[in-house]
Chains A and B, each alone.
Chain A
Amino acid sequence: MTAARLLLTFVGLAWLALILLLPLLAIFAQALAKGWGAYIAAVTSSEALDAIRLTLLSALIAVPANLVFGLAAAWAITKFEFRGRTLLLALIDLPFSVSPVIGGLVFVLLYGAHGWLGPWLAAHDVQIIFAKPGIVLATIFVTLPFVVRELVPLMQVQTTAREEAAFSLGASGWQIFRHVTLPNVRWALLYGLILCTARAMGEFGAASVVAGSIRGRTVTLPLHVEIVFNEYDAVAAFACATLLTITALVTLVLKTVLDARERRTAHVELASGQLITAATPAGSRA
């Protein structure tokens, strides 16, 4: 039995090494293939710096926007019952389940030169597609579900008893959220924000469609990686890829830390929730 277990563990780890670890190591090996000098030069070239700036800018707009949206949506969906709730959740999930290429295409068809609003935008000298606003919109689209998806499952299992108690004591909606709801979901919220940021900085398919095939002014870091890779400048491509890889690894570390905390909070929450329910037998959920 132990022999079978050892063999299967070995097979499983070998599989993960082949499909996960080797590609991860290859990124750093390729980036440093010509030494640190070439690496530094690649990540500090003016094209790379421009790409980093645009990537950070679009993340700085997309993440706070989807944070506000995520909080509002989670509050409406978990604190109230209304018709179409399931449909609303499915629609919020949509960007997560379609190809990122579609996430870019929808904006090209709406705001592009041949899109529904294209002529009007052109007449007013506003360019969205093949420009920075398009990148930002595509980033917002693909990162839309992240905060909601982290908050809703957690807020759904928490009772509303304490929020209702706070309300009956005269607290405003914002005060209830700030002092009662938020402390219970803060780790999930932080985790959602981290995922949202990582995805915003790494988005490729949607950004590639709205940036168009004529590259130049609107290049994000992943697009820059593609361009230099296709120009056979492997060191530059992998050097810039290490920046995104390090971001991803930091995300994984933070996730592991937050998972442990969330579990602890969830247990505490569950215990105190049961206490409140037990203390108010004829309470709000009766």
Chain B
Amino acid sequence: MAMSNNARARILPGFGPTLGLTLAWLGFVVLIPVASLLLKGLAIGPAEFWSAVSGPRAVASYRVTLSSALAAATVNGVAGLLVAWMLVRWPFPGRRIVDALIDLPFALPAAVGGIALTAVFGPNGWIGSLAYPLGLRTAYSRIGLLLAMTFVGLPYVVRSVQPVLEDLDPEIEEAAFALGATRWQSFAHAVLPILTPALLSGFALALARGIGEYGAVIFISGNLPLETEVTSLVVTIKLDQYDYAGAAAVAIVMLAVALLLLLAVNLLQGRSRAYQAA
């Protein structure tokens, strides 16, 4: 392996220029700007940094953002597994159209998704006008927040699980079934363990997306301070108040959480690939 690596490094041309261009552009667009964020947030010193990131509004926003994103990712975990299963194992008319539509939240601008959800789940919307009389406030509330985060996170679990399921031989379940397991047992004991890494990686991606979401959320959540204000919004509010260091400090917290989730996803995807290769 090491020999072939050396061979690859030697043989083809263009390593210097392409890597140089990559690093220069990455530095200009990502590294220097992100470094300026870190410097701004950390330059204020630990005491002020702590007071910026532990203010009541910020802390309330972490709680709301994290719990809503966890709930949305859980909903997407269950629904995404069902949808992926449906798309791979149960052919039904219009399957291709449904399959294409799964990516809509990826392709649709977040702000458009946000106003569309508000139109459906708001008090005068198709669903909202049915739900409000029942006492379900589906917009400008935690429910609205959950709906928005569920919408943007929807494709992740489906698209993580789908390829693994496509590669998985239905004979595994059938063998278990033939050996006397019930359908549910053969799914739970033979299939689910194989799908788990992909499921978790989709869950983590949906969670990360929910935590960082801004456009889809701000229209439907009502943005009530301490109640439905997400952390991204707290950053923009601090910025509007010219509290640059405070905005940077809260953004650093978000950046750290995003990086931790990214790390988790990479580890899980490694395991998922190992299963696929096995």
Contact = CB atoms under 8 A, between A and B. Distances in A.
B62 interface: no
Interface in A66-85: 68-69, 71-73, 75-77, 79-82
B112 to A, nearest CB: 5
A256 B104 CA distance: 12
A23 B104 CA distance: 11
Given A8-B82, A204-B110, A69 B25 contact: yes
A57 interface: no
B248 A229 contact: no
Contact of B239 (A15, A29, A105, A137): A105
A144 B34 CA distance: 14
Interface of B: 4-9, 11-15, 17-19, 21-22, 25-26, 29-34, 36-37, 39-40, 79, 82-83, 86, 90, 92, 96, 98-113, 115-117, 119-120, 125-127, 147, 150-151, 154, 183, 208, 211-215, 219, 231-232, 235-236, 239-240, 242, 244, 247-248, 251, 254-255, 258-259, 261-262, 266
A231 B99 CA distance: 36
Contacts of B9: 80-82
Given A225-B111, A229-B115, A205 B232 contact: yes
Contacts of A160: 8, 11-12
Contact of A256 (B7, B100, B235, B244): B100
Nearest to A99: B212
B11 A252 contact: no
Given A100-B214, A137-B29, A105 B116 contact: no
A260 B26 CA distance: 32
Contact of A22 (B17, B120, B247): B120
A114 B235 CA distance: 16
A81 B5 contact: yes
Contact of B115 (A24, A209, A225, A285): A225
A87 to B, nearest CB: 11
Contacts of B125: 26
Interface of A: 1, 4-5, 8-9, 11-13, 15-16, 18-24, 26-27, 29-30, 65, 68-69, 71-73, 75-77, 79-82, 88, 90-95, 97-102, 105-110, 112, 114-116, 137, 140-141, 144, 160, 163-164, 167, 172-173, 176-177, 195, 198, 201-205, 208-209, 213, 222-223, 225-226, 229, 234, 237-238, 241, 244-245, 247-249, 251-253, 255-256, 284-286
B1 to A, nearest CB: 9
Contacts, number: 283
A196 to B, nearest CB: 12
A79 B127 CA distance: 52
Contacts of B108: 24, 202, 244-245, 248
A23 B119 contact: yes
A23 B111 CA distance: 12
A12 B215 CA distance: 26
Contacts of A248: 104, 107-109, 112
A155 to B, nearest CB: 12
Contacts of A24: 101, 104, 108, 116
A97 B262 contact: yes
B12 A9 contact: no
B36 A20 contact: no
Contact of B21 (A72, A163, A225): A72
Contact of B112 (A20, A22, A114, A225): A225
B262 A110 contact: no
A253 B86 CA distance: 21
B92 to A, nearest CB: 6
A20 B4 contact: no
Contact of A237 (B6, B110, B115, B120): B115
Contacts of B98: 13, 16
Contact of A204 (B82, B215, B235, B261): B215
A93 B235 contact: no
Given A90-B262, A245-B112, A284-B4, A105 B213 contact: no
Given A19-B150, A141-B30, A173-B12, A101 B255 contact: no
Nearest to A5: B90
13 contacts: A12-B82, A21-B101, A22-B120, A24-B116, A97-B262, A98-B255, A109-B36, A202-B112, A205-B232, A255-B100, A256-B99, A284-B8, A285-B7
A100 B90 contact: no
Nearest to A103: B33
A79 B214 CA distance: 37
A111 to B, nearest CB: 9
B11, B116, B219: most-surrounded residue (chain A CB, <10 A): B116
A206 to B, nearest CB: 9
A82, A201, A204, A226: most-surrounded residue (chain B CB, <10 A): A204
Contacts of B150: 19
Contacts of B103: 252, 255
